[in-house]
């Protein structure tokens, strides 16, 4: 009676074991497939990373090329602006103007002299004699010694001519009037308000790998004026005019003028050798001993 029961239990256990074995086999197969899927996903991710890295490298190269060609890479610009107000006053003493004196004497060269010191010579002859005496002066000491005598002669000649009313020769007439040309009275000159503007532009350019160019441009002018009339040729001017040696340093017009420019070639033949060419209009100063308007080559 026991055999049939045992037989049924054994069949049930066998069925359960088979089902369990199938499940375990499925789990085993799934476990074996999971690393393969993970490896495939990792390989795909690596490909994407490599592609992205290449795109970033290409982008960096493009940015570098653009940066190398940008204006700021080879050109630097600087400068300054200055505004100035001057109120100038002065006082001069009375003096004899030699230019006016000799001009006055020349206009009256045919008049005869009455001063015994000139022995009846004409004004022109007296001036010729004075000029010959001046030609003999060769040193400062000789000029200092002769100055009082020469000044006395000129004063006497001037007084003689100015006091004449007679004529000498067919083309001569009364002495012309000097009208303040010879003796200039004392003055109190003033320039109450002078506005000046100065603008400087500095350029530094890297022309090639080893060649650099530096240029300084200046504009210097009086406010409301396009000339140098306010600052040259009068009492307050320290320059007689504007030319290459003073342009940009004396108020004139509103143009940017070249103050100085120089180019430097360095690392010649891959050696520590350089050569420089400079054009300098800057007036001499304590920090600049080159004369103005000079082309300089140095290596």
Whether 268 and 138 map to the same domain: the answer is no
pLDDT band at 143 (very low <50, low <70, confident <90, very high): confident
Q: List, in order, residues 6 or more apart from 58 with CB less than 8 Å away.
A: none
Residue span of the structural domain in which 104 resides: 95-184
Looking at the fold, whether 170 and 253 belong to one and the same domain comes out as no
Mean pLDDT value across the chain: 75
209 shares a domain with 282: yes
Query: Same domain, yes or no, for 84 and 143?
Result: no
Predicted confidence (pLDDT) at residue 145 exceeds the cutoff of 50:
yes
The answer to whether position 18 is within a domain reads no
Q: Does 191 fall in a domain?
A: no
Same domain, yes or no, for 203 and 79?
A: yes
Residue 41 maps to a domain: no
pLDDT for 101-134, tens place per residue?
888 888 888 877 777 777 778 888 888 888 888 8
Report d(CA 124, CA 171) in Å as an integer.
Answer: 14
Does residue 84 sit in the same domain as residue 225?
yes
Q: Is residue 285 part of a domain?
A: yes
Lowest mean pLDDT among 46-50, 56-60, 232-236: 232-236
- Residue 197 burial by CB count (10 A; 0-12/13-18/19+): exposed, middle or buried? middle
Q: Cβ contacts of residue 76 below 8 Å, gap of 6+?
A: 203, 204, 205
> Model confidence at 255, in pLDDT bands (50, 70, 90)?
confident
Instruction: Report the phi/psi class of residue 92: left, alpha or beta, with left for phi > 0 and alpha for psi in -120 to 50.
Output: beta
> What whole-number percentage of the chain has pLDDT above 70?
69
Instruction: Indicate whether 206 and 177 sit together in one domain.
Output: no
Last residue of a domain, one of 160, 184, 208: 184
**Domain final residue pick, 184, 206, 237:** 184
Confidence (pLDDT) at 292: 44
| Residue-wise DSSP of the chain | -HHHHHHHHHHHHHHHHHHHHHHHHHHHHHHHHHHHHHHHHHHHHHHHHHHHHHHHHHHHHHHHHHHHHSHHHHEEEEEEEEEEEEEEE--B--EE-HHHHHHHHHHTTTSBP--GGGTT-BHHHHHHHHHHHHHT--SHHHHHHHHHHHHHHHHHHHHHHHT-----STT--SPPP-TTSSEEPPB--EEEEEEEEEEEEEEEEE-SSSEEEEEEEEEEEETT-SSSTTTSSSTT-S-S---TTTBTTB-B-S--EEEEEEEEE-SGGGSS--EEEEEE-PPPBTTB-SPSSEEEEE-
Is 177 domain-assigned? yes
Say whether both 86 and 116 belong to one domain: no
If asked whether residues 223 and 164 sit together in one domain, one would say no
Q: Are 245 and 272 within one domain?
A: yes
Place 13 in a pLDDT band, splitting at 50, 70 and 90. Answer: low
Q: Which of the listed residues 130, 152, 184 is the one where a domain comes to its end?
A: 184
298 vs 194, more confident: 194
User: Is residue 149, in this structure, part of any structural domain at all?
Assistant: yes
**122 alpha carbon, distance to own chain's centre:** 57
Tens of pLDDT, residues 151-180:
787 777 777 777 764 333 334 445 666 667
Band of the pLDDT at 1, cuts 50, 70, 90? very low
Please state the rounded mean pLDDT for residues 171-200: 77
In a domain, 46, yes or no: no
Count of structural domains within the chain: 2
Are residues 227 and 283 both part of a single domain? yes
Enter the pTM of the model.
Answer: 0.50
Position 227 in a domain: yes
- Residue 172 CB neighbour total at 10 angstroms: 17
State the pLDDT at residue 284: 44
Q: What is the mean pLDDT of residues 129-141?
A: 85
Order of strands, sheet of 75-89, starting from the edge strand that comes earlier in the sequence:
75-89, 190-206, 211-222, 257-265, 275-280, 294-298
Residue 136 and residue 100 share a domain: yes
Which stretch, 56-70, 180-194, 201-215, has highest mean pLDDT? 201-215
Place of tokens 């200092």: 144
For residue 200, pLDDT beyond 90 = yes
Q: How many other C-beta atoms can be found within 10 angstroms of the C-beta atom of residue 128?
A: 13
């Amino acid at each position: 009676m026991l055999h049939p029961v045992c037989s049924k239990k054994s069949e049930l256990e066998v069925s359960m074991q088979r089902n369990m074995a199938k499940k375990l086999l499925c789990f085993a197969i799934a476990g074996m497939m999971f690393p393969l899927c993970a490896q495939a996903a990792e390989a795909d991710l690596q490909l994407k990373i490599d592609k992205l890295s290449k795109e970033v490298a290409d982008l960096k190269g493009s940015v570098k090329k653009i940066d190398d060609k940008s204006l700021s890479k080879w050109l630097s610009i600087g400068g300054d602006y200055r505004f100035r107000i001057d109120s100038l006053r002065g006082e001069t003493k009375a003096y004899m103007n030699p230019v006016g004196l000799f001009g006055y004497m020349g206009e009256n060269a045919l008049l005869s002299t009455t001063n015994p010191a000139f022995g009846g010579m004409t004004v022109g002859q007296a001036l010729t004699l004075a000029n010959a005496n001046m030609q003999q002066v060769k040193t400062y000491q000789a000029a200092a010694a002769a100055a009082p005598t020469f000044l006395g002669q000129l004063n006497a000649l001037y007084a003689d001519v100015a006091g004449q009313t007679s004529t000498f020769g067919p083309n001569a007439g009364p002495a012309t009037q000097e009208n303040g040309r010879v003796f200039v009275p004392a003055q109190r000159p003033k320039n109450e308000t002078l506005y000046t503007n100065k603008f400087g532009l500095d350029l530094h350019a890297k022309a090639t790998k080893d060649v650099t160019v530096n240029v300084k441009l200046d504009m210097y002018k009086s406010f409301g004026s396009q000339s140098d009339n306010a600052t040259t040729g009068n009492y307050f001017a320290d320059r007689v005019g504007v030319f290459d040696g003073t342009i940009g340093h004396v108020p004139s017009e509103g143009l940017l003028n070249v103050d100085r420019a120089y180019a430097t070639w360095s690392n010649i033949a891959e050696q520590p050798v350089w050569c420089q060419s400079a054009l300098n209009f800057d007036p001499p100063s304590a920090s600049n001993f080159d004369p103005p308007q000079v082309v300089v080559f140095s290596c």
